[in-house]
């Protein structure tokens, strides 16, 4: 009986082993706007930590087909059975995101701005040049065509209103706060040009502002976008709006705390200071990154 039982166990084990498949491994495609070496290093550092538990590759650039294709190829070579693209961007409501969706085969029609992104020198954004630029003997690849992939791909939202991002924003406000009861917080984001997308940005920022209100008893918490890429008329209107809000709070006897809702400091915050010249306010010492919770956000997004 003992021999029969042993043989039965071996047979069942063999059958299970023959039918069992190794668990599929999902690779992470971290999408980021490239920039100065310090910023690129921060993104790479996040990717290295996530890579400890999931194969992770970075694609720098603004809807750069060459960079995305290179990262997809690396993940595929590492044996992943699916890919989740995680946009390291403040908001999903932009043509960069929709263009990336098209390049990944997740959108049927290409956004009009994709042609503009394709003309950019993405090597200045940390992205590699297109394959055709490296080898003259290879046919040029249409930079507006979807990437070639052999595994399924899905894409997560950007930061938007995620609770982890809300925690970071609230902490930035508290970092320069002394007497919250007499302080007025203003969250300021870059913002898109189209009005519809701008409304979506503001809807997400409203949720973040509510988290800031819950973090400390501030006298007020406001939020706005400055539409940096818009034309002169829209930019000037946004500048006047920002200055008016600051002046109103100062006239009410409150200290104004400016919290730039930006990925990282690297130039845009200087533009904010220029818009606010001559006014009384305090500004946070850093933007959303660097922050160790960004790794937590990436992992939460992939789940």
Q: Are residues 117 and 208 in the same domain?
A: no
Is residue 239 included in any domain, yes or no? yes
Q: Judge whether 117 lies within some domain.
A: yes
Residue among 261, 157, 272, 255 at smallest CA distance from 212: 261
Does residue 57 share a domain with residue 108?
yes
H-run or E-run covering 56: strand 56-60
Whether residue 51 is contained in a domain is answered as: yes
Residue 275 domain flag: yes
In a domain, residue 8? The reply is no
Domain match, 142 and 179 both: no
Question: Is 206 found in the same domain as 188?
Answer: yes
CATH number of 242's domain: 3.40.50.1400
In tens, the pLDDT along 39-59 reads 999 999 999 999 999 999 999
Q: In which order are the strands placed within the sheet that holds 26-32?
A: 56-60, 26-32, 82-87, 153-155
- Per-residue pLDDT, 138: 53
In this structure, the answer to whether residues 167 and 275 fall within a common structural domain is yes
Same domain, 186 and 91: no
Other C-beta atoms within 10 Å of 74: how many? 17
Q: Is residue 10 part of a domain?
A: no
Which residue range is the domain that position 266 belongs to?
Answer: 163-283
Residue 66 token pair: 């060459």
Same domain, 151 and 30: yes
Same domain? For 155 and 277 the reply is: no
What are the two backbone dihedrals, phi and then psi, of residue 85, each rounded to the nearest 5 degrees? Answer: -90, 125
Q: What is the dihedral of CA 106, 124, 58, 262, to 10 degrees?
A: -80
| pTM for the whole structure | 0.86
Which among 140, 15, 28, 12 has a CA at the least distance from the CA of 74? 28
| Residue 190 sits in the same domain as residue 279 | yes
CATH number, domain with residue 65: 3.40.50
Residue 95 CA to residue 62 CA, distance in Å, equals 9
Same domain for 260 and 170, yes or no, is: yes
What's the structural domain count of the chain?
2
Instruction: Looking at the structure, tell me whether residues 144 and 255 fall in a common domain.
Output: no
User: Per-residue confidence of the chain (303 residues) as pLDDT tens digits?
Assistant: 444 333 333 333 333 333 333 456 999 999 999 888 999 999 999 999 999 999 999 999 999 999 999 999 999 999 999 999 999 999 999 999 999 999 999 999 999 999 999 988 665 566 655 444 444 455 678 999 999 999 999 999 999 999 999 999 999 999 999 999 999 999 999 999 999 999 999 999 999 999 999 999 999 999 999 998 999 999 999 999 999 999 999 999 999 999 999 999 877 788 899 999 999 999 999 999 999 999 999 999 999
- Does 14 reside within a domain? no
Q: Could you tell me the two tokens for 22? A: 């190794």
What pLDDT does residue 119 have? 87
Q: Do residue 220 and residue 115 come from a single domain?
A: no
Q: Is residue 88 part of a domain?
A: yes
């Amino acid at each position: 009986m003992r021999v029969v039982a042993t043989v039965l166990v071996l047979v069942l084990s063999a059958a299970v082993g023959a039918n069992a498949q190794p668990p599929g491994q999902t690779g992470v495609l971290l999408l980021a706007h490239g920039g100065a070496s310090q910023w690129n290093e921060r993104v790479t550092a996040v990717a290295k930590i996530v890579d400890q538990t999931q194969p992770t590759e970075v694609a720098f650039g603004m809807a750069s087909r060459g960079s995305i294709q290179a990262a997809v190829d690396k993940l595929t070579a590492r044996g992943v059975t699916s890919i989740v693209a995680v946009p390291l961007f403040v908001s999903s409501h932009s043509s960069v995101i929709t263009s990336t969706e098209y390049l990944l085969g997740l959108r049927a029609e290409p956004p009009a701005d994709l042609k503009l992104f394709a003309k950019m020198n993405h090597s200045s954004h940390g992205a590699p040049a297109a394959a055709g630029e490296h080898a003259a003997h290879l046919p040029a690849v249409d930079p507006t065509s979807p990437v070639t992939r052999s595994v399924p791909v899905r894409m997560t939202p950007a930061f938007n209103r995620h609770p982890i991002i809300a925690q970071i924003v609230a902490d930035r406000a508290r970092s320069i706060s002394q007497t919250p009861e007499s302080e007025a917080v203003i969250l300021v984001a870059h913002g898109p040009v189209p009005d519809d997308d701008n409304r979506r940005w503001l809807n997400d920022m409203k949720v973040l502002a509510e988290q800031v209100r819950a973090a400390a008893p501030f006298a007020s918490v406001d939020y706005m976008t400055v539409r940096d890429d818009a034309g002169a008329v829209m930019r000037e209107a946004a500048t006047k709006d920002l200055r008016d809000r600051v002046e109103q709070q100062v006239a009410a006897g409150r200290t104004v705390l400016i919290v730039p809702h930006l990925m990282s400091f690297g130039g845009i915050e200087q533009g904010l200071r220029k818009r606010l010249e001559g006014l009384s306010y305090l500004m946070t010492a850093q933007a959303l990154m660097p922050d160790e919770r960004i790794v937590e956000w990436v992992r939460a997004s992939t789940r």
